[in-house]
Amino acid sequence: MEVRNCRRCGEMFVYVGRDICPHCREEDERDFDRVREYLRQYPRADIQELHRETGVEKEKILGFLREGRLEVDKDSARSVLNCRICGTPISRGRICMDCLQKFKQSQAGGAERELDYENRRPGSSSKNSRMYIKDIWAKKGRNYDRRSKFGEE
């Protein structure tokens, strides 16, 4: 059990994955509910209007958007949220869907290349060739005996 001080109010609390105490988390949830309800009534509201009408700080609203908990109309997010990779306006999160798809594809291709590399014999270009311990020891002039644990001669 780890005890920390809340980064917002300084109160001591048992750490459970977030740097703020339960009281500050409850306050955040109340603020989130206020912003969400206002957005349900006025879906085209921008950050300035949300701040003015709900009393919730702009940085907290931006945090809700970046976490993906809120989504605003793309027109109202145009000047606020941009993709961190390509810079296009987005309505929530940190990365646009196009960049996310490209990233996923590049990671999948990287995993395939990594598997190909692991499956090939050093010095050969064949994908399916593998070098086994017996072959390695034979190259070193050692005798590989299945009964011997370490292949000692």
Q: What is the mean pLDDT of residues 74-95?
A: 74
Q: Is 141 left (phi over 0), alpha (psi -120 to 50) or beta?
A: left
| 62: number of Cβ within 10 Å | 14
Higher pLDDT, 96 or 123: 96
Interatomic CA distance for residues 115 and 105, integer angstroms:
16
4-43 per-position pLDDT tens digit: 999 999 999 998 888 899 999 999 999 999 999 998 998 8
Among 11-25, 56-70, 76-90, 118-132, whose mean pLDDT is lowest?
Answer: 118-132
At 5, phi and psi to the nearest 5?
-100, 140
In this structure, are residues 71 and 81 in contact, taking their beta carbons and an 8 Å threshold?
no
Q: Among 96-100, 135-139, 148-152, whose mean pLDDT is lowest?
A: 148-152
Phi and psi for 89 in degrees, rounded to 5?
-65, 140
